[in-house]
Structure 1
Amino acid sequence: MTSLPAEEQRRIVAACFARTGLTLKQLWLRYFALGGDVGELELDAFLQGLTTLPRIQRDMVAHAVNERLDEVTGTRRAPYSTVTGEDTVPRGPLAALVGLLAGARRAPPERLPAVIAAASRALGLDVTVYLADDNQRLLMPFLTEEAAERVPLAIDITTAGSAYQHSGSVLTEEQDEPRLWMTLLNGDERLGVLELVPGSEADLRDPALRDQCRWLATLSGQLIASATRYGDGLDVVRRRHRRGPAAELLWQNLPPLTAATRTVVVAGGLEPAYDVRGAAFDYALSESTAWLAIFDAGRDTGSASLAVSTALAAYRSARREGLGLRGQEAAVDKALSARFGDAVPVRGTLAELNLADGGLRCLEAGREPPLVLGGGHGPSIMDEGCRPPFGEGSPARIATTWLRPGDLLVLHTEGLSGARAAGGERFAFADCVDQNRGQVLPETARRVLQAAKSHCGNTFSGDAVLLLARWSGPL
């Protein structure tokens, strides 16, 4: 490190201050908030070169100027008294982390793949971002100048898809060109994959580098998920067909498709992805409890999406007020009755799982009671808590049972379990879930929905919604 002469620092700081648009008083207030201890007149004299300030005070003035420059231009120009030499410029993992975080700040969503690619070069890697399409059948490349010739990759038959299915990584070496496929994660939710190709000095077989690639994928996934909330640039890559207003409304009301705590994993999905009209799911996880819900108003009325959105909002409001199943049920009934009367029946299921002991309480309004599947027993149906659709009839008796560690709770709509082939053959829903429950939970949900879609030729008589929860047992 080298020291910048005091007068040289003062001259550059004063020039930078002139570009901030701040008045002297505004600059002094910022400087004072940082801990500065000279008055406004002394600060003015310093900027004009009439007096000097101690090193720490000069650096506080520089920092106050830089904060404003960050707000205005995103570029820091005012120097500090100590200049970092080239030998201490961050390299490797630190440079990648700094590059990723700094590059993502104020970046529009569509810029993030380029930011991720630039950060990865500090690890000696070239990276391409692939995002899963809304149907979870293809991995769509985000095309940049470096990845202009990439094509979509099928999840079910490619190496990249294998990494996505298992929420892990796959290393390949084809024609002496190693390549690592790493799942792009937001927590436990799969967003896509990263394709990582090493430069001349990087070795993808190095365990330390593999760990760095894993946190790169995780942090990149979190940045992408965050950016998707304030722009459409990434969503248009994932979207392969038009969504109507009803589907757009329902998708925007969904929570992430996957979430987890130390004792429970939740995963869901719905079909037809681009034409869902009147069904949705919701959940909330805490240290002690998992709350789950599905709502289904059918596909036959123009108000179905509004009715389901009303039920979902009433349920969330009651849940967030700390109300239990009875309070949630009453809130949904009241909201639907006030808005729709009995014109739009909404079926669904409300469930509450105690994560300390596996105690499960459910009530079901309609015709599709929850299933419980376990390793040592066949499917069991919780059909004791059935009542008429929400907004109609009287409260149901709450069904109770106890889950064993590893048990899978299955909530679903009739559109899924009642899917039929062209010849009338009904989809073997429970068997399909049972056959695929050895996968990571979001993959179980994906495979069941894909199987139902194939069975009925993507011609669902009702919206197909699936919500799974696996309890691993108490800590």
Structure 2
Amino acid sequence: MVTVSSLQAEEQRRLVAACFARTGLTVEQLWLRYFALGGDVSEGELRAFLRGSSSLPRIQRDMVAHAVNERLDEISGARRAPYSRDTGEDARPRGPLAALVGLLDGAHRVAPERLPEVIAAAGRALDLRIAVYLADYDQHRLIPFPGQPPGRVPLAIETSTAGQAYRRAGAMLAEDSAGPRLWTALLDGDERVGVLEVEAGVNTDLNDPTLRTQCHWLASLSGHLIAAAMRYGDGLDVTRRRRRRGPTAELLWEHLPPLTAATRDVVVAGGVEPAYDLRGVTFDYALSETTAWLAIFDAGRDTESAGLVVSAALAAYRSARREGQGLQGQESAVDKALSAQFGVGTAVRGTLAEVDLARGELRHLEAGGEAPLVLGDGHGPATVDSARRSPFGAGTPGRVSAARLRPGDLLVLHTEGLSDARSGDGARFSLAGSLAANAGHVPPEIARRVLQAAKSHCHNTFAGDAGLLLAHWPGTP
């Protein structure tokens, strides 16, 4: 008796063989491609399969089809060889999977400014109406992306329900005259990009926990795609800008890592001000399973070359760190790069640090920079003991200092421009007080709130660039 499944297998074999004939490959060349994909039948068995004198298990047929399709992609850009499911049951995804697959398929090779349309189309698979809001670079407002249905206006992060979802990196349900809507944070990993506004169809309940989970998946994948698209186009980025950036600020923002990142053992978050007139401050970090490396650099605001100088310091630090050098090797690399490129007397202040994530051991080196602060449960912000040396560029080796973090501690690296921000009457900004007041929030929200408080304190007239880098160590599991 001939079964339906055997008929489907033979139909797949026939089509695969026909497609193979158009690849221009020999059987040996096809077998090498198939074997590289994990195939485990011999070249002779593959030859017999293509001739129709023997059959293969379903997974092996699909690997042969994939090897054929890879070759067809190379010569024509079209896939023709069917997979086993193509000749049988309906393999189209439905429900939440249809939304995610639709988002991935729709985003492939799409212009960045079209992504909000793709996200909205994915939402329709869940019977949802979706609009995209992006956070501006001041992290003060959420801006609706142009071209969406009319009536949407910028929303304040501090006072709106949408802003509350952004601040918490979660979801908030709002009830108003227009009906219920769900606001959920757009996340690229742990970095907040903006929010999605979600409205439901007549038969969909936004209070449904399962739907909330599906919206979270959609927002997370959308956040990844938006962040990736910003690297190859300006259509999304310009929405986030409230005013023009000068060339130096543009350079420094391009060199910054994501403002938030996390592993199981550490969360880092940072920020810089003034966002649109940054001149000489940058920071960096790298995370691994065992270690968090942190650095902050300040070349001041007083010279035209400050942005280039601090960028050179950052590049030298990254190069040394990626070569596996420790703090003193990183220090030496920055010193040499500055003196070689800009001559003796060029100075950059900064702090280098590394945290052993298993034991909470902190090692740090200050080169004219501010000593780190540590804030934790049961104790207010305290400056760790340090042995400061002259700024980078002087070539004077410094001494590495050590301290021990306690589980739950927040490590704070900052520039003088933040701690020395002054009000109109000359009063200094209390960095320690602001950190303590916001200690209950997640690290990216602490960074945002502290920088907003400093900006308000000095009426956005920073005498020096304000840089802030936080690392929260939860302790060993």
Q: CA deviation at 1:233?
A: 2.1
Summarize the alignment of residues 38-437 of structure 1 with structure 2, pairs less than 5 Å apart. 66-67=69-70, 76=79, 83=86, 88-144=91-147, 146-175=148-177, 177-392=179-394, 394-437=396-439
Q: CA deviation at 1:97?
A: 2.1
Q: Structure 1: how far apart are the matches of 2:461 and 2:332?
A: 34
Aligned amino acid, residue 283 of structure 2: F
Say if 2:15 and 2:82, in contact at 8 Å, map to a contact too.
no
Q: Structure 1: how far apart are the matches of 2:281 and 2:12?
A: 66
Describe the shift of the 1:30–1:102 C-alpha distance in structure 2 as closer, same or farther (beyond 3 A): farther
1:376-433 alpha-carbon deviations (Å, 9 max, x no partner): 2232212522111111152222222211111111111111111112222221221111
Say if 2:139 and 2:157, in contact at 8 Å, map to a contact too.
yes
Q: Structure 1: how far apart are the matches of 2:12 and 2:386?
A: 80
Q: Structure 2: how far apart are the matches of 1:37 and 1:161?
A: 61
Q: Structure 2: how far apart are the matches of 1:8 and 1:331?
A: 60
Say if 2:13 and 2:52, in contact at 8 Å, map to a contact too.
no
Q: Which moves more between the two structures, 124-133 or 224-233?
A: 224-233
Q: Structure 1: how far apart are the matches of 2:274 and 2:239?
A: 19
Describe the shift of the 1:256–1:8 C-alpha distance in structure 2 as closer, same or farther (beyond 3 A): closer
Describe the shift of the 1:201–1:370 C-alpha distance in structure 2 as closer, same or farther (beyond 3 A): same
Q: Structure 2: how far apart are the matches of 1:30 and 1:148?
A: 54
- Equivalent position SS for 2:351: strand
Say if 2:293 and 2:355, in contact at 8 Å, map to a contact too.
yes
Q: Which moves more between the two structures, 212-221 or 78-87?
A: 78-87
Aligned amino acid, residue 98 of structure 2: A
Q: Structure 2: how far apart are the matches of 1:285 and 1:264?
A: 8
Say if 2:96 and 2:214, in contact at 8 Å, map to a contact too.
yes
TM-score, normalised to structure 1, is 0.87
Q: Structure 1: how far apart are the matches of 2:442 and 2:465?
A: 24
Cα RMSD, aligned residues only: 3.2
Say if 1:13 and 1:65, in contact at 8 Å, map to a contact too.
no
Describe the shift of the 1:72–1:315 C-alpha distance in structure 2 as closer, same or farther (beyond 3 A): same
Describe the shift of the 1:32–1:413 C-alpha distance in structure 2 as closer, same or farther (beyond 3 A): closer
* Structure 2 unaligned blocks of 5 or more: 36-41
1:205-249 alpha-carbon deviations (Å, 9 max, x no partner): 111111111111112212222222222222122122222111111
Describe the shift of the 1:374–1:26 C-alpha distance in structure 2 as closer, same or farther (beyond 3 A): same
Say if 1:187 and 1:218, in contact at 8 Å, map to a contact too.
yes
Describe the shift of the 1:157–1:33 C-alpha distance in structure 2 as closer, same or farther (beyond 3 A): same
Q: Structure 2: how far apart are the matches of 1:281 and 1:235?
A: 21
Describe the shift of the 1:225–1:55 C-alpha distance in structure 2 as closer, same or farther (beyond 3 A): farther
- Equivalent position SS for 1:230: coil
1:318-354 alpha-carbon deviations (Å, 9 max, x no partner): 1112211111111111111111233431001111111
Q: CA deviation at 1:12?
A: 12
Q: Structure 1: how far apart are the matches of 2:463 and 2:208?
A: 51
Q: CA deviation at 1:37?
A: 6.0
- Equivalent position SS for 1:291: strand
Aligned amino acid, residue 194 of structure 2: G
Q: CA deviation at 1:184?
A: 0.8
Q: CA deviation at 1:316?
A: 1.1
Q: Structure 2: how far apart are the matches of 1:28 and 1:237?
A: 53
Please tell me whether residue 34 in structure 1 is matched to residue 37 in structure 2. Answer: no
1:45-78 alpha-carbon deviations (Å, 9 max, x no partner): x9xxxx9787879988865665466568876556
What is the match of residue 24 of structure 2? Answer: 24
What is the match of residue 476 of structure 2? Answer: 474
Number of equivalences:
464
Aligned amino acid, residue 335 of structure 2: D
Q: Which moves more between the two structures, 362-371 or 464-473?
A: 362-371
Describe the shift of the 1:85–1:210 C-alpha distance in structure 2 as closer, same or farther (beyond 3 A): farther
Q: CA deviation at 1:461?
A: 0.9
Q: Which moves more between the two structures, 173-182 or 72-81?
A: 72-81
Say if 1:4 and 1:83, in contact at 8 Å, map to a contact too.
no
Describe the shift of the 1:114–1:26 C-alpha distance in structure 2 as closer, same or farther (beyond 3 A): farther
Q: CA deviation at 1:166?
A: 0.7
TM-score, normalised to structure 2, is 0.87
Q: Structure 2: how far apart are the matches of 1:67 and 1:164?
A: 42
Q: Structure 2: how far apart are the matches of 1:396 and 1:416?
A: 24
Aligned amino acid, residue 406 of structure 1: G
- Equivalent position SS for 1:184: strand
Amino-acid identity (%): 64
